[in-house]
Structure formats: structure tokens, C-alpha cells
Amino acid sequence: AGRGIEGMDVEHVRSLSMFQHGGQKLLDHLVKFTLLRVLDLEGCEDLTDNHMRYICKLYLLKFLSLKGTNISKVPPQVDKLEHLQTFDLRDTNVIGLSEAVKRLYKLERIQTTQTWKAEFMWRLPRGIRKMKALREVGFAVLGNDIQVAQEVSELEQIQELSVYVETEYPGSDVVVKEFAK
């Protein structure tokens, strides 16, 4: 007793919620939470980009909220979270998103920060059609790519889609028409 997080048996913990600050030691030991399904770090001020390498090893995660944290990037290893269903990145410093996100085939909800600059938002990638479980996309950019527009229209589960359509490019009207189908 009294050994702190180092002495705790955390392998069987399925759900972990942290907020504000004071959890640095716990964050440094995230990799020990091998059976974690829910990780809610909303508002956790101690979370750093460095901790993302531990989070990406929590293969069984279904729910991940990084809302209101200071992280600025999501590493390509995020595709190891093959069971992830909800990914909340609102109010973070993440600019764009790794292409690896499109390999999260069980993802149902992804929420990103809304900004007035399209270059900082998640750009819907080619290959998004493989994300067949996707039901909700909170803020993304539909670039001047007719293939992506076609792929989005093939997503049968989509219920809510908040996208910024770039219309300042030649031919963007064709993309908009395809997207509107």
C-alpha cells in the first residue's frame, strides 16, 4: 500500500476518465491498462503528444476523447486502434489528421475542431469508403476531389456530416454536385 500508480494492478481496468491536471504519473503508465475500452481524457491538461504513443498501444479501445487537451498531432500508429468507434478531438491543437485514420474501419463517430481555416481541418481522404461504420463526422473538409465526394456518398451509415466544401477551385461545382447526390 502507498506505492502509488506503480504498485497498482491496472491490467483489468476497462474504463478510465481523467480531467484537468494532476494525472501525469497515471498518463505515463497508460500502456499498463491493457484491457481499456473507454479512455476519456477531456480537459486533461497534462496530456502531451508524447502520451499518444501509449494510447496507440491500447488496442481494445472503443471510445477515446481527447477533447480540450493540448495535443497537436495524432501519430500514424492510431490505426492500431482497430476497435475504436468514437474519436473526439474537439478543442485540441491537432492540425489535419494522419491518413491512418481512414484505416479505423469500425469508427462510427469522429469529431474534430471547427476552425475558419480549411488547411487546419481534417481533410476527408481517398479511401474513406472503407470506413463503412462511419455515422457521424463533426467538421471536415471536402477538398476539390470528385473521388472523395463519390466515396462519401457511398457511406450508407452516415447520419450527420458537417463538412466545409472548398469552392474556390476550378471544377469545384462538379465536386459539389457529386457530393449532393
pTM of the model: 0.90
For 137, the 3-state DSSP assignment is: strand
Task: Report the pLDDT value the prediction gives residue 1, as an integer from 0 to 100.
Answer: 45
**Predicted local confidence at residue 95, as pLDDT:** 85
pLDDT for residue 167: 77
The angle at the Cα of 98, spanning 139 to 52, to the nearest 5 degrees, equals: 100
Q: What angle do CA 115, 179, 134 make, to 5 degrees?
A: 70
pLDDT, residue 166, reads 80
User: Measuring CA to CA, how many Å separate 176 from each of 35, 83, 149, 164, 170?
Assistant: 43, 32, 8, 11, 12
According to the model, what pLDDT value does residue 24 have?
A: 79
Domain boundaries, the chain: 1-91, 114-181
In tens digits, what is the pLDDT along the chain, a chain of 181 residues? 445 556 678 888 999 998 767 677 888 889 999 999 999 999 998 999 999 999 999 999 999 999 999 999 999 999 999 999 999 999 999 988 888 999 999 999 999 987 767 777 888 999 999 999 999 999 888 888 889 989 998 999 999 998 888 877 777 788 778 777 6
CATH assignment of 1-91, given 3.40.190.10, 3.30.1280.10, 3.40.50.10490, 3.80.10.10? 3.80.10.10
Chain centroid to CA 158: how far?
A: 17
Q: What is the pLDDT of residue 4?
A: 57
Q: Give the Cα separation of 104 and 122 in Å (integer).
A: 15
DSSP reduced 3-state for 129? helix
